[in-house]
Amino acid sequence: MKDQFYQYIQELQDTITSKLETIDGKATFQQDLWERPEGGGGRTRVIENGNVFEKGGVNISAVHGALPEAMQNYFKVKDCDFFACGLSLVIHPKNPMVPTVHANWRYFEMYDKEGNIVTQWFGGGQDLTPYYLFEEDAKHFHQVCKTACDKHDPAFYETYKNRCDEYFYNGHRGEGRGVGGLFFDYCKETKSMSMQQWYDFVTEVGNSFLDAYTPIVERRKELNYTKEQRDWQEIRRGRYVEFNLVHDKGTLFGLKTNGRIESILMSLPPHVQWRYDHHPEEGSEEEKLIKVLQNPVAWV
């Protein structure tokens, strides 16, 4: 399974970066191959200062070795080895009318000292963070997510949509990071779902990503915007940073387990503002977004 999934994310990285370069028309992804001293490594690809994308990363990694102490404590195990691989991406467009997007698909195995698999699971998802709310964009993104889910279980979309709203939530702000999407974790073998069936589901979602996001980019990338709208985008990016550094489990684990810092923090946007006690004008488009972030919507 690990070989099958690692092969998949290598191919998916190629597909996604190629498509995003075509849309941008100017910038290309810089590739950085790296090795982890404890075992494994990855292939980081970053795009910057393009016509459309101000900064973005599409990274894959496959790491293995002794389970770090912080993760042993988290999983309440001792003296285990592990393998983990995944693809993680964050794209920050230049135009504030184009939403930021995040996606991640991952696979994990844990072994005893004899090398037997003790547990294994899939996780992942994809979610949208707009700065200006176009309801048709949110509906499109969620419809693609639902279509992918429905091919495998009619209950998946609502379950993982709700988990996404719960997870990507800035509790200290009382608002969601964005308009959500899907979030699933610890997808293990059960009587109703084999690991191969979970693989089929996760790859279905991964394959749906470009269909979910790129039509939105194409619709919005040429729209005009003002300096004030760009300022709002940078203020909202500050909320994005807050979530990633305060709440996100992947970021926190990466920092605690000697992860590669540049790959972990590639999700951070290049230009951000934190203004003291900032509130949007009443009745404005900016306030409209905030109200939706405070009360998750059933988009489809």
- Which amino acids are annotated catalytic? 102
Query: Over the range 172-195, which residues count as b (16 or more CB within 10 Å of their CB) and which as e?
Result: eeebbbbbbbbbbeebeeeeeeeb
For the CA atoms of the chain, what is the radius of gyration? 19
Q: Which residues contact 158 (CB under 8 A, 6 or more apart)?
A: none
DSSP for residue 122: E
Tokens encoding 163:
């988990």
Please choose, from the candidates 141, 145, 84, the residue with its C-alpha nearest in 3D space to the C-alpha of residue 110. 84
The identity of residue 266, as a single letter, is M
| Residue 29 neighbours by CB distance under 10 Å | 22
CA angle, residues 271, 275, 276, in degrees to nearest 5: 155
Please choose, from the candidates 242, 124, 123, 125, the residue with its C-alpha nearest in 3D space to the C-alpha of residue 175. 242
The identity of residue 153, as a single letter, is D
Is residue 67 within 8 Å of residue 39, measured between CB atoms? no
User: How far is residue 53 CA from its own chain's centroid?
Assistant: 16
Q: What is the dihedral of CA 32, 109, 14, 262, to 10 degrees?
A: -30
User: How far is residue 57 CA from its own chain's centroid?
Assistant: 11
Q: Three-state DSSP class for 106?
A: strand
Is residue 61 within 8 Å of residue 47, measured between CB atoms? no
